[in-house]
Amino acid sequence: MYPESILKAELTEDQKKHAIRDFSLLELLSFCFTYTGGLTGPQITFTRFRAFCEGTMKMETDETGKPDSINAAVKKLSTGSIFLAAYLFGGHLFHRDTVVSPTFHDHSLLYRLFYMSGYGQLALTKYIGCWTVMEGGCMLLGISYDSSLPNKWGALQGVDIRGHFLGYSNKGFIDNFNLTTKYWFIRYLFKRTREWGKWTSMMYTYVFIILWHGVLPGYWLAFLFEIPVITAEKQFARSIYHYCGTYESWSPITQTVTMTAARFARYLTLGYGIQPFILLTWQDTSHVYNGLYWGLHVILAVWLLLFNFCIEHRLPPVPRYQKKDKIEDRDYDELKKDKVHLAEQNKLNSRNGDTQGDKLKTM
């Protein structure tokens, strides 16, 4: 809702597109209890929900007038079922009881590290499976239709599976995970508080997301850990490009080795960082991290200090972008379309032999 005191001239194009001035109690309750908002997501805009309910959302239909999305929905259901099955059967290989048991510390450091990472990656398949099945449900319902997308039924995408598994950084993981709900947070939290300052707005959004999930320590530890990880990734990539040249200037062997190392580091970092989100309690989380000597926390702390006091002043300043290019002033639906179009282009390039995709640029 936007109060009448806010003039249209003060709103961005995205806000004008999604602003609502009035609604009925029935509309509000219907929106609150629709399954996209009450179960696993994705969170959608009220304007999309209203257009769908009022029949003003134009979509492709079959001869009976129903959304012609059965094939797309079945594909998503099948894909999601595969991930859920992987989570079910993978539980025999990686189990919570193992990582929290007193005997877990009796194993070698490498065993603990890789077992913990495998357990973290397995936990993610549950979310990928649920979001993909839910995306199929939105397709079947018809509420995810957008004629401007290559996949016309993919406007409420939960996760970019290909981008998730082929990415090279934790920033890439975040960019490809929980997509529609993430844009919802950007629109209704980050953008609304942007005038408070970037870091204040970001922390406000993070706190809201944490409380959205719950109040247990694991949520705080997991989400706030993203900040130093992403910051360190960007700093490290910036340093590498300054001292070693751009990715395109490297030899094919150097590129391959670098991408392999980056993907391996992402695998371990992601598995390490997601442990609090899975274990939730401080006792279990500290037990696992004690077995790894809080290694990644120490590495990040050392790197951030080293970069800020010894490296950053040697690097050229980061260019400042014009306001019109900032994410908060763009239409988030257009941002999603840009991402989908880029994903489709990457698929086409991979068929033609160009598989270098994001090449650390997500870092």
Kindly write down the DSSP assignment for every residue of 269-314, as one continuous string: HHHHHTHHHHH-SHHHHHHHHHHTTTHHHHHHHHHHHHIIIIIGGG
Mean predicted lDDT score pLDDT of the chain? 81
User: Could you tell me the pTM of the whole model?
Assistant: 0.78
Q: Are 136 and 76 in contact (CB under 8 A)?
A: yes
The pLDDT score that the predictor gives to residue 112 is 92
pLDDT above 60: residue 321: no
The pLDDT score that the predictor gives to residue 283 is 94
Q: Write out pLDDT tens, residues 235-281.
A: 998 998 888 888 888 899 998 998 889 889 999 999 999 999 999 99
Band of pLDDT at residue 328, cut at 50, 70 and 90: very low
Q: Are 202 and 264 in contact (CB under 8 A)?
A: no
Q: What's the average model confidence in pLDDT over 328-348?
A: 52
Q: Write out pLDDT tens, residues 45-64.
A: 888 888 888 878 777 666 66
Q: What's the average model confidence in pLDDT over 310-329?
A: 64
pLDDT above 60: residue 346: no
Q: Are 266 and 170 in contact (CB under 8 A)?
A: yes
Angle (CA) 119-123-125 rounded to 5° is 120
pLDDT above 60: residue 356: no
253: CB partners within 8 A, 6+ apart: none
Q: Write out pLDDT tens, residues 5-32.
A: 455 556 677 777 777 778 888 888 888 8
pLDDT above 90: residue 286: yes
Q: Which amino acid is at 54?
A: E
For residues 10 and 18, what is the distance between their CA atoms, to the nearest angstrom? 14
The pLDDT score that the predictor gives to residue 47 is 85
For residues 30 and 24, what is the distance between their CA atoms, to the nearest angstrom? 10
Of 129-143, 255-269, 310-324, the range with the lowest mean pLDDT is 310-324
Q: Write out pLDDT tens, residues 88-125.
A: 999 888 989 999 998 999 999 999 999 999 999 999 99
